[in-house]
Amino acid sequence: GENVEQHPSTLSVQEGDSAVIKCTYSDSASNYFPWYKQELGKRPQLIIDIRSNVGEKKDQRIAVTLNKTAKHFSLHITETQPEDSAVYFCAASPGTYKYIFGTGTRLKVLA
Amino acid sequence: KAGVTQTPRYLIKTRGQQVTLSCSPISGHRSVSWYQQTPGQGLQFLFEYFSETQRNKGNFPGRFSGRQFSNSRSEMNVSTLELGDSALYLCASSGLGTEQYFGPGTRLTVT
């Protein structure tokens, strides 16, 4: 069935270093890939997304890359700051408003 | 615009009871999706409604049901509650685009 695998489940980095979170999807019909950040006790917030006709998208310190052939997409955060500490979720959708989420990555940025 | 709202925010029920959760989408949004969030399982898709019709459904038992009203507000019902139903239930709304905006969630505890 449809599945999104997300790795790692936890990630600790030193402030100022980069963080990379990787996801793999199974449904080849997926064409929309959002990333959400969820801080403790808060709702998930969309931070960046990418569509299948684009290989890379960047927004300040955050970038997402997509490899359709390998069905991989990744989130890259550069110059990490303590406020980047949160749980990050990837998701894949075939564009029919059905989203399959990964199991999340808990990112800790150590000051 | 006001964000997605959910009521109640917290709920404690006994095994075997039933529960109804409510979600009001962002004004103008016609798609409402529901998710179950548990530690270690991430966000699992329950179902999605658009213009009062269920368009997508996840892999949950029939005890989980929903509906959408003409004003796009949605309700989710869980009958014959089990201990394993304890979770944070999130709804999300979408407008013309595929971006989803989440509500704060309803934390359900089944004892």
For residue range A47-105, list pLDDT tens digits in order.
999 998 889 999 999 999 999 999 999 999 999 999 999 999 999 998 777 889 999 99
Q: Measure in Å the smallest separation between the Cα of A99 and chain B Cα atoms.
A: 7
Which has more confidence, A3 or A73? A73
pLDDT of residue A45: 95
Q: CB contact, 8 Å: B72 with chain A?
A: no
CB pair distance less than 8 Å for A99 and B45: yes
pLDDT of residue A96: 74
pLDDT of residue B102: 95
3-state DSSP of B4-54: CEEECCEEEECCCCCEEEEEECCCCCCEEEEEEEECCCEEEEEEEEECCEE
In this predicted structure, the answer to whether residue A1 has a pLDDT above a threshold of 80 is no
The chain B residue lying nearest A44, using CA atoms, is: B102
**How confident is chain B (111 residues) per 10-residue block, as mean pLDDT?**
92 97 96 92 91 92 97 97 97 87 96 97
Q: Is B110 helix (H, G, I), strand (E, B) or coil?
A: strand
pLDDT of residue B46: 95
CB pair distance less than 8 Å for A45 and B90: no
CB pair distance less than 8 Å for B55 and A43: no
The chain A residue lying nearest B49, using CA atoms, is: A97
> Where does the pLDDT of residue A44 fall: very low under 50, low under 70, confident under 90, or very high at 90 and above?
very high
Q: Is A32 helix (H, G, I), strand (E, B) or coil?
A: strand
